[in-house]
Amino acid sequence: MNGANAAGLRARRSRGSGRVRIEDVAEAAGVSAQTVSRVLREPARVGVEARARVHAAIARIGYVPDLVAGALASNRSRVVAIVVPTLANALHAGSVEGLSDAVGPAGYQVLVGTTGYDRGREREVVRAFLGRRVDGLALAGGLLDEKADSLLRAARIPVVQLWELPDNPVDLAVGVDGMAVGASVARHLVGRGHRRLAVIGHAAASDTRSAARARGFLDTIAVLGLPTPRLLESARPWAMQDAAGLLGPLLAGKQPPSAVFCTGDQIAIGLLLGARRAGIAVPERLAIAGVGDSDLAALLTPSLTTVGIPRYRMGLEAGRMLLRRIAGEDVTPPCLDLGFELIVREST
């Protein structure tokens, strides 16, 4: 770019927003603004030599396409969003990665919002994403805030609910049967000879995933005719350091439980590490099982019995379902059960 052109570009940018415009790219490449637009949107319609000049100009002057203006013109933002309780839990991070890998090759970017298991924040995050005109939305949870549910149904955009399989999904769902997860662990622990049992879940009412796993565990123990397990709750299921504080209440009394089911691996790992520090033998005195098959589960001593949930595949399938729905295709089945695997290790 010669000195006069550079000065003119600086002048135009100083009078406006400071953004390099598509007209600036056209001037730098020696083509029309319409040609630049075609290179960005329909490159196959532009010759190789012109495309090369446009891309060189974009790199040279630092042009970034105005996606907001493009979304208004095409009625497509090329953005999908995902709402999860927290990214401190590797399970949710895995789903975000899977979603991104599914929609990225199709030209979509992913926005991530977290709720902290708070219904009010869930509603506001959903409202914010809808206000940004996302083309599709994935969110963890089968039971949504009532207002968030209404907003999503009124928006009429593709929606995939993750982790759970609600009876009346907003649109689509992909996940696992949480009650079946709890039931599987209950049968395993009873099969190991345990009769005094406990379950540790999450205190937040919005964590319906934890509640379903705990309910499946408790219901199965009842069906087997065994004493009702001791129930404890964790305020922060992602904080391993909190779990050690549950050891005292868990093992209090004349007949403490010999096995505990934790509805998430973070709690189970924290409990196992706390037991080791306190000199409590695992599994001889206390057997421990979790859910999630986190990266640490197999590396601990003793290694952790857990339930493997296909978290990455969950996000991947959610992304594929969103893309098909965005393209106007039917998605069958609308609710996809991915199943789970009980992974028996040394802790039980």
CA distance 255 to 258: 9
What is residue 62's DSSP assignment?
T
Give the whole-angstrom CA distance, residue 38 versus residue 57: 15
Same domain, 150 and 217: no
DSSP per residue over 176-232, as a string? Answer: --HHHHHHHHHHHHHHTT--SEEEEEE--TT-HHHHHHHHHHHHHHHHTTPPPPEEE
Q: What is the pLDDT of residue 259?
A: 98
User: Looking at residue 32, what is its pLDDT?
Assistant: 92
Total domains present in the chain: 3
Calculate the alpha carbon distances from 56 to 31, 38, 52, 75, 313 in Å: 12, 15, 6, 29, 38
Find residue 288's DSSP bridge partners: 260
Task: Give the model's pLDDT for residue 1.
Answer: 46
Q: Are residues 289 and 183 in the same domain?
A: yes
Q: What is the distance between the alpha carbons of residues 310 and 316, in angstroms, rounded to a whole number?
A: 10
* Distance in angstroms (rounded) separating the CA atoms of residues 270 and 280: 13
| Within-domain flag for 346 | no
Please tell me whether residues 156 and 251 are part of one structural domain: no
Mean pLDDT of all residues in the chain? 87
Alpha helices (runs of H) in the chain, residue ranges in sequence order: 3-15, 22-29, 33-41, 48-61, 67-74, 90-103, 119-131, 146-155, 178-191, 208-223, 240-243, 247-251, 265-277, 311-326
Is 302 part of any domain?
Answer: yes
Q: How far apart are CA 345 and CA 107, in angstroms?
A: 42
Among residues 212, 207, 206, which one has the least CA distance to residue 179?
Answer: 212
pTM for this prediction: 0.78
CATH number of the domain enclosing 61: 1.10.260.40
DSSP-derived 3-state class of residue 138: strand
Eight-class DSSP state of 156: T
pLDDT at position 98 is: 96
State the pairing for strand pair 341-343/306-308: antiparallel
On whether both 208 and 240 belong to a single domain, the answer is: yes
Question: pLDDT at position 13, please?
Answer: 47
**Is there a domain that residue 72 lies in?**
no
The answer to whether 128 and 71 have CB atoms below 8 angstroms apart is no
Q: Which two tokens stand for residue 276?
A: 């080791």
User: What backbone phi and psi angles, to 5 degrees, belong to 317?
Assistant: -65, -35
Number of Cβ within a 10 Å radius of residue 339: 10
Is 15 found in the same domain as 111? Answer: no
Query: What is the C-alpha separation between 156 and 258, in angstroms, rounded?
Result: 50
More confident site: 285 or 11: 285
**Same-domain check for residues 130 and 198:** no
Answer whether residue 277 is part of any domain.
yes
Give 10-46 pLDDT, tens digit per residue. Answer: 434 434 445 678 888 999 999 998 998 888 877 888 9
Q: Which of 217, 196, 197 is nearest to 291 (CA)?
A: 217
Does residue 186 share a domain with residue 169?
A: no
Q: How confident is the model at residue 7 (pLDDT cuts 50, 70, 90)?
A: very low
Whether the per-residue pLDDT at 165 is higher than 60: the answer is yes
Model confidence over 311-331: pLDDT tens digits? 999 999 999 999 999 999 999
In angstroms, how far is CA 151 from the centroid of its own chain? 20
Site of tokens 């509603």: 123
Mean pLDDT is lowest, of 42-46, 240-244, 276-280, for: 240-244
State the residue range of the domain holding 50.
Answer: 3-65
Tell me the two tokens of residue 320: 């594929």
CATH number at residue 153: 3.40.50.2300
CA 242 from chain centre, in angstroms, equals: 23
Q: Say if residue 302 is preceded by a cis peptide, omega within 30 of 0.
A: yes
Q: In what order do the strands lie in the sheet with 109-114?
A: 109-114, 79-84, 136-140, 159-163, 172-175, 335-337
